[in-house]
Amino acid sequence: MNLGRRFLRGGIWAFLAQVTVVPFGLMSNGLLARMFSPAELGMYFIAISLASTGALIAQFGMAQSIVRLVAENLDRPLVAGQAIKIALIVGGTGSAVVAASLSAGLGDVLSRVVFESENLRPVIGLVGALIIAMTLRNLVAQSLRGFHDIRMAELTGRVISSSLFVCAYTYLWTAEVDLDLSTVLLIIIGGTAVSLFIGVVSLVGKVGEWPQEGEPGLGKVLSISKPFWVSSIFLSLLTIGPLWIVGTLGNEGDVAIYGACSRLVILILLPLVIVNQVTPPMIVELYGRRDFDQLEKLLRSIATVAGIPALIVLCLFMFFSEAILAVIFGSYYALGGGVLAIL
């Protein structure tokens, strides 16, 4: 399949996935906002941010490097399989260490000293379990992306779990169930585990026989992954850091308002996220072939495709921020209209 057709097919799947995941994510947050008090929703945002950060640390940049390693070795399945095996072992071990650190005392320090909240301490163990599930799920999904299977990468990445979350929250809301943070985290862990299982089944079919040893070695995989790890942590701090600052300096209600606004800002980045789901394996392939003319055309088209829709969403947020927040999260969250316009 030529590059243009592959980009189009992958772009369609990435687009369908994101236009499913993002609305479902907003629906999930909107339902939780109606079942939780602002303080409870704020603590939910903190718990999810801790799990996301922990998973990012545990992956050691391999969610990015595995795409490159697999895409470069599509004609050598044993090499691709060895890279995937190393990524899963390192990710599984790293996530277990991070989860154990939270349970051993780090989570208590974050609860009491950083966020000054007693509501976070009882769910630290569940946050650790979610870190493990998210880490392995992400690595499996990115391995599938390296095989150019954008469809399964997107489905196992977030589409399946997001769909399960919406169904679960809708049922709990209509049944008027008294919900707490522990129950929500259990739902998220369960949905993530289902996505992980489906991803593993699909990945095993692509790899075939898993190698016992060979290239690439652990040192090579880690050296490739380290720059991705450092840059991804800094980028994560730019997005999650402000939420933690609000959690440290403000109250849980302030965190809820800021968290709601930050969820909506994702819509501005949606076009760029879509193209970023498709292009990394193609960029690796073109660079490996030294086809710089085609690579330049691809990057120019990415900028055009991503820029125009983002500008439209930005204008809507600037002029109708309070109304948008009230519709999605409830009237209380219209207080964050100014925050959303600034973000």
pLDDT in the model for residue 254: 85
- Burial (Cβ within 10 Å: 0-12, 13-18, ≥19) of residue 109: exposed
At 103-122, the pLDDT tens digits run 888 888 888 878 877 788 88
pLDDT in tens, 132-142: 999 999 999 98
Contacts of 230 (CB under 8 A, 6+ apart): 61
How high is the pLDDT of residue 247?
A: 81
Least confident of 30-44, 150-164, 314-328: 314-328
DSSP 332: G
Kindly tell me the burial class for residue 283, based on how many C-beta atoms sit within 10 Å of its own C-beta (0-12, 13-18, 19 or more): middle
If DSSP codes are grouped into helix, strand and coil, which group holds residue 209?
coil
Query: Angle formed by the axes of helices 181-207 and 160-174, to 10°?
Result: 150
How much is the pLDDT for 192? Answer: 93
Whole-angstrom distance, CA of residue 107 vs CA of residue 115: 10
Residues 204-228 pLDDT 10s: 877 766 555 556 777 788 888 888 8
- 2, pLDDT greater than 60: no
Mean pLDDT of 34-39: 89
Residue 8 banded pLDDT, cuts 50, 70, 90 = low
> What is residue 117's DSSP assignment?
-
- CB atoms near residue 290 (< 10 Å): 8
Distance CA 156, CA 146 (A): 14
The radius of gyration computed from the CA coordinates of the chain, to the nearest angstrom, equals: 20
User: CB under 8 Å to 75, separation ≥6 — which residues?
Assistant: none
CB atoms near residue 83 (< 10 Å): 28
Which of the four pLDDT bands, split at 50, 70 and 90, describes residue 69?
Answer: confident
Apex 107 CA angle, 62 and 180, nearest 5: 100
HSE-CB for 229 with a 13 A CA cutoff? 19
User: What's the rounded Cα separation, in Å, for the pair 93 and 77?
Assistant: 24
Half-sphere exposure in the Cβ direction for 116 (13 Å, CA) = 9
pLDDT at 21: 83
- pLDDT tens for residues 231-283? 888 888 887 888 888 888 878 888 888 888 888 887 777 766 666 666 666 66
Give the H or E element holding residue 80. Answer: helix 77-101
Sign of CA dihedral 41, 191, 275, 22: negative
Q: What mean pLDDT do residues 145-154 have?
A: 83
Q: Kindly report, residue by residue over 154-197, the tens digit of the pLDDT.
A: 888 888 999 999 999 999 999 988 889 999 999 999 999 999 99
- Whose structure tokens read 């710089």? 292
Query: What's the whole-number average pLDDT of the chain?
Result: 82
| Token output for 166 | 């919406």
Question: Cβ distance 159 to 119 under 8 Å?
Answer: no
Element (H, E) at 212: none
